[in-house]
A and B are shown apart, each in its own frame.
Chain A
Amino acid sequence: MQISARRLENKTIFDVVGDIDLANSPAVRKALLAEIKEKKIPCVIMNLEGVKYIDSSGIASLVEGLKASRDAHARFILFGLSKSAREVLQLSRLLNLFEIYDNEEQALSNERA
């Protein structure tokens, strides 16, 4: 898995490529929390177009990011969920707790998909 950050004004977009599982979810969590808690970025966006698989440890990292963003009164947005990733989020019954868009354009313009 690879995770890289793009910084646009007051937003950070994380581009994630690869599976998110127990082997690499700590890296996702660390990157998210550093951006939200330490750098205090008011809007963090996760580009998951390149993520074909996510397991409970990956969902846990996204939940940590969402919790931290709520605590910091920041926004936490997901876009580009694969069928598999969406299925897993649905299974967790957490899908509706996240702000989710189909693509980057929608995420940046804040139009709910």
Chain B
Amino acid sequence: MTARAQVAGGVFAALLTGCSGSSPADPGEIPYDRLSDYGFFVGPLSDLEPAQGVVPYRVVSPLWADFAGKARFLVLPEGGRATFDAAETWSFPSGTIVVKNFFFDVDRRDEGGKARIVETRLLVREAGEGWVPYTYVWDEDQTEAYFHAAGDRLTIAYIDAQGNDAEQEYIVPNTDECDSCHARDDRTRLLGLATPQVNFEGLLGDGTTGNQLERLADAGVFDGPLPPVQDLPRFSDPFGPDPLEARARSYLHANCSHCHRPGGDAAQAGLDFTAFDPDPLPAKLGVCKEPAAAGPGTGGREYDVVPGAPDESILVYRMESTDPEIRMPELPIRIPHAEGVALVRAWIAGLDGPGCGGP
């Protein structure tokens, strides 16, 4: 693995020992012990100021993660370029690293103000292996993050919207659990770096405004020119100005379809929450679909989605639950997403029906 040396500004990890064999591991081998060893950022690590060649980006429809904000970066190997695809599968050269930092606002009355970074997740494109996930947990001083494979649970202190001291638990996934979202058809996939997720206009990862896909192209990410972005697929901002159905489909895509689609971790359920098809078979979105192996996840309700009746819909029940057997998505969510639930409720309430017939 040589990607390490291709990242600007890095130094080799000093030591890496462990259990992988009787001799010490190659100190130049990813995963490094410390996040700083990769050299992604210049200046104080917690400023997340990208080094040259580290490209920030945002997605239009993020996965809800218990109030965590996310700072995303793409790092291509020296001279490497991605091959564009209008759908969702861009091709990246070996040595590419996708970086996602998870942080919490210290004061929730001041969104975008002072934040505490808790975790950095990497997907590294390794020759012969595809994308491989690694997780780093930040120290209390915000000076370093350390490789951490087995997952953890952290307590996050913050000041709530009313100005009171509060805290929440935050779950760091183990590296297998990364694949519970990112694997499809037995291969680890990127979810955010896909055309419809970055083909949007608005505030971009670098703090400017414009079209995120064009901005990536301007940064030299692709090995050829893009088609006109207005001709390319795009998802809606779930909380933007687009029509309700488009926003709900976008939200369900980002929060559900990584498992609930053909080839996904929950393909057996027969749902497909991807937002590519504008007119899917209703049962693919759960409309009047009976549950598969939901167990108590049904909450006694008969169908995943009952048009016009959010309170009779299993989908809403599972989004609102905090019980690990019931709640969706399964990982690693502790706190239901009030705005997301409201959006899905509104979408169900507006579906033609009412009801699902019945005996």
Partners in one complex: no
Which B residues are within 8 Å of any A CB, using their own CB?
none
